[in-house]
Structure 1
Amino acid sequence: MKKQQIIVVGGGVALLCLIYFFGRTVPTQKAGPVAAATHQDSTAIDIKAILSASKQKLSVSQQEYITRLEASVVRGDVKEQQIQMFKQMAGFWRDSAHALLPYAYYTAEAAKLENSQKNLTFAAQFFLDGVRRQPDPSLRNWMATQAKELFEKGLELDPNNDSLKIGLGSCYLFGNISSNPMEGILKIREVAERDSTNMYAQFMLGQGALMSGQMDKAIERLTKVATKEPNNLEAVLMLADIHEGRGNKSEAIHWYEAAKKKLGNPEIIADIDQRIKALKQ
């Protein structure tokens, strides 16, 4: 298992599934650095075509079920019927078809109609979690655009919600949805400067520093997060990875050992043990 995979698993099994299914939803393209994407990449994604193609991969009975759901919105309280239809579609794609891009899409559509801050936040965060781990530039940009819309709708309901502000800034940071790369950083920094104890903001700024090659700043912020929130495996493993890359063996070993205490996967622990052994040589 590669070093990058360890960091991914640190995000949890749910996020690992997110990468797997999001990554298999569109034709494979050559992965590149985040900076290689532009705010125009989303034009390459046709969600309706993706949904149609996904449907064609289903069994005949599953296709018939989807068709019935699609035709279930009739006269009367159309909005409520649409909400229920979107929720049923989301549940089907998650539980029966195991395809998380259609699940995310329908979950988001239901949340937009309900206009509930809780559901908007859930859908937005689900997309954002995928953005940070999606190698395909076009899909990453499209997902960030969806998350941005959802976070903005959430902020309309609760303008002072710092988590939503950080989430919105992160869409710019990781999705390249703006020609100004600082736009996302500034949105997150606004929260961090006002509340230095907000670890969500510190974590995102740490990743931003890492992306821009500012390793000292990345270490400073991620260390703050890992110290305050030792269960944040992603921050811990990022620190181990950064220190290993810089040749700081003792620090890398320290953070790998810290991660081992929080992990329950024997395969990952064995891989970390191999890394620690190599660092000690």
Structure 2
Amino acid sequence: MKKSQIIAIVIGVVAIGLLFSLPRVIVKNDDGESAISEAGSSSPSGMEDLHNAPIAPEAQEALQRISEKLNKENDLERFAALTDTLASLYSQAGKFDSAAYFLDKAADRIQSLERFEKAGIAYYEAYTFALNEEKVAYLADRTRFFLNKVLDENPTRSDLKTRVAMTYVSSSNPMQGITMLREILDADPTNEDALFNMGILSMQSGQHRRAVERFEELVKHHPANIQGQFYLAVSYFESKQNNKAKKQFQEVRNMSTDPMILASVDSYLERL
């Protein structure tokens, strides 16, 4: 599959809000980690720049009011509640880097595993949507900074380890991420996140038959994973297994009523 095809699919799938965010491997980061600052430091462009994107005017007043309260709040519990509210509002508006920014502020003040995890997951979500290479590198760095704090205390958290792994695969050291995913599968061969992401990595590298194996294993154990079902069909298509591809696309059609999924399915069926 060509990179442009994968990007087109990703845009459609992300827009319908499915379970998993797609990994950053589909957008090559030519600079790797060389542009990443040291963990815990500010971004090259300044952290505030990340949450400066425009937002709907009707939401501005509420956000401004809560932000002003946040700046004056000394009670840690109320401070955390305000950052959670701001993060939720920004997430609803699709401003995921802004959500991460405020959860970062809470984690910096409260220094708890719960707060580190919230900030790390928020940065990972922002990372999966970012396109600017410098921002991608920075968001990946912050994801690792926070989630590794949690993993240091809870090394069996494969859900967090998967996210950390996926921040590496677009870096100058992609094998570190792949090795981490393999370690997860060694410990848990049916791990949903790891199987999905290894399948995506196989597609990205043109190993479509290997992708078929990964996605077949994924949907065998996690049949409700609509993205896995869809990408299994795409992998069949790309590996020239047309009969299986047609059957699988029909299966996806029967599983979803979302017009964007159905449009993607119809596009492939027309080519079979």
Same fold flag (TM > 0.5): yes
Is the 1:93–1:102 contact (alpha carbons within 8 Å) kept by the matching residues of 2?
A: yes
Alpha-carbon deviation of 1:224?
Answer: 0.8
AA at the equivalent of 2:227: E
CA contact (8 A) 1:236 1:255 kept: yes
CA deviation after TM superposition for structure 1 residue 102, in Å: 0.7
**2:53, 2:264 → 1: CA distance?**
38
Instruction: State the partner residue of 1:241.
Output: 234
Contact 1:7 1:237 in 2 (8 A): no
Identity %: 20
The partner residue of 2:84 within 87, 90, 93 is 87
Cα 1:44/1:216, change in 2 over 3 Å? farther
Change (3 A) 1:264 1:112: farther
Aligned partners of 1:72 and 1:85 also within 8 Å: no
Q: Secondary structure at the match of 1:34?
A: coil
Instruction: Assess if the C-alpha contact under 8 Å between 1:117 and 1:154 holds in 2.
Output: yes
Instruction: Within 5 Å, give how 1:118-157 maps onto structure 2.
Output: 120-157=116-153
Please say if residues 208 and 238 of structure 2, whose CA atoms lie closer than 8 Å, have aligned partners that are also in contact: no
SS in 2 for 1:14: coil
Partner of 1:39: 33
- In 2, Cα distance between equivalents of 1:167 and 1:188: 10
Matched with 1:51 is 51
Distance 1:198 1:64 in 2: 42
Partner of 1:182: 175
| Residue 71 of structure 1 pairs with residue 71 of structure 2 | yes
Of 222, 229, 251 in structure 1, the residue corresponding to residue 222 of structure 2 is 229
Letter in 2 for 1:36: D
The alignment partner of 2:32 has SS state of: coil
Shift of the alpha carbon at 1:10?
Answer: 4.0
C-alpha distance 260-120 of structure 1, shift in aligned 2 (>3 A):
farther
Aligned residues: 258
**1:93 CA displacement:** 2.7
**Structure-2 separation of matches of 1:60 and 1:8:** 27
- With the length of structure 1 as denominator, give the TM-score of the two structures: 0.74
Q: What CA distance in whole angstroms lies between the structure 1 residues aligned with 2:136 and 2:89?
A: 24
- 1:99, 1:133 → 2: CA distance? 10
What does residue 270 of structure 2 align with? 277
Contact 2:100–2:122, Cα closer than 8 Å, also in 1: yes
> Which residue is equivalent to 1:194?
187
- Rounded Cα–Cα distance in structure 2 between residues aligned with 1:231 and 1:85: 35
2:113 aligned with 1:99:
no
2: CA distance, partners of 1:170 / 1:198: 15
1:238, distance to aligned residue in structure 2 (A): 1.9
Query: What is the CA-CA distance between 1:247 and the residue it aligns to?
Result: 3.2
Partner of residue 39, structure 2: none
Q: C-alpha displacement at 1:39, in angstroms?
A: 0.6
- When residues 259 and 12 of structure 1 are mapped into structure 2, their CA distance, relative to the original with a 3 A threshold, is farther
Instruction: Pick which of 141-150 and 4-13 moved more.
Output: 4-13
User: Which is further off, 144-153 or 84-93?
Assistant: 84-93
> Tell me, which stretches of 5 or more residues in structure 1 are unaligned?
20-31
